[in-house]
Amino acid sequence: MKTVKLNNGVDVPILGFGVFQIEPEHTAQAVKDAIKAGYRHIDTAQSYMNEREVGIGIKESNVAREELFITTKIWIQNISYEGVMKSFTASLEALDTDYVDLLLLHQPYNDVYGAWRAMEELYKAGKIRAIGISNFAVDRAVDLAVFNEVTPAINQIEINPFQQQTEIIAALREEGIAPQAWAPFAEGQNGIFTNPVLTKIGEKYGKSVAQVILRWLVEQDVIVLAKTVKPERMAENINVFDFELTDEDKTAIATLNVGSSQFFSHSDPVMIKQLASYKI
């Protein structure tokens, strides 16, 4: 598996398995199947309500903990110094592990700076191998880095063929922050899996649209998370290292960019209030 080196020297498997929207009763088996398929990077979050099941799946996989890269995220109501300290302890217990490889602030709201100080302390104590953020605009990411000791290692943001974030990716890299893609398939919206541009490229290589998208991100050195509960799809999604896109392919994919989120804006006041009201 190809890896990406973070700004603190930690290596991250470039393809990760995400468990967002996987029901708890299906999560442990999905994690076991993903690990069996070759994934070593598992991404969860407090708000996904399946950390415990992720921990069970990891344990039942019989793969050594040190071979795995585990990410979880602090939810909005816990984004404060005390909130991080308390909720992170609960996350470790749920995951049944002594440390996580990556801890992210899930959203750019609440007491971000108090939360970051707590994360820095946990990082220095060896409870976390890398700390980062999710859904932060570049200016918020830079502000956080400038006024704290540790620069975020990762910013997990929406990146897919319809929301390519080219300038944002470049700006994050300029600050030493690795981009990580959530929703690379745009959750199937806008007919992405039958898109004629992506389908034509896939046919050329004998690959699916999903594989083309993942390869497109891998070739940009963007860490990417893919979710499925089907073992055959897991195997398909990880099988993207045996072909390369041409410049012509990449130019064609670039035409699909609409430059806006396929879901919602993180700067929309209504959405901020809605997210903040979600309790876990």
Which residues make up each annotated binding site? 106
Secondary structure class of 105 (helix, strand, coil): strand
User: Active-site positions?
Assistant: 48
Q: Reply yes or no on whether the pLDDT at 279 is more than 90.
A: no
Homologous superfamily of domain range 3-276 = NADP-dependent oxidoreductase domain (3.20.20.100)
Q: Phi first, then psi: give them for residue 76, nearest 5 degrees.
A: -50, -50
List the binding residues for substrate.
106
Question: For 178-213, what is each residue's pLDDT tens digit?
Answer: 999 999 999 999 999 999 999 999 999 999 999 999
pLDDT tens figures, 208-240: 999 999 999 999 999 999 999 999 999 999 999
The terminus-to-terminus CA distance of the chain in angstroms comes to 34
* 46-69 pLDDT per residue, tens: 999 999 999 999 999 999 999 999
pLDDT digits (tens, 9 = 90+) for 112-153: 999 999 999 999 999 999 999 999 999 999 999 999 999 999
- What does the pLDDT read at residue 119? 98
* 88 close to 122: Cβ distance less than 8 angstroms: yes
**If you average pLDDT over every residue of the chain, what do you get?**
97
pLDDT for 28: 98
| Alpha-carbon gap, residue 80 to 147, rounded angstroms | 16
Tokens 């398939």 locate to 185
Instruction: Indicate the domain borders of the chain.
Output: 3-276
Helix axes 209-218, 196-205, angle to 10 degrees: 90
pLDDT score, position 64: 97
Q: Report how many helices (DSSP H) and strands (DSSP E) the chain contains, helices first.
A: 11, 10
- Sign of the Cα torsion 15, 20, 22, 27 reads positive
What the block records as the tokens of 262 is 């396929």
| Mean pLDDT score, 33-47 | 98
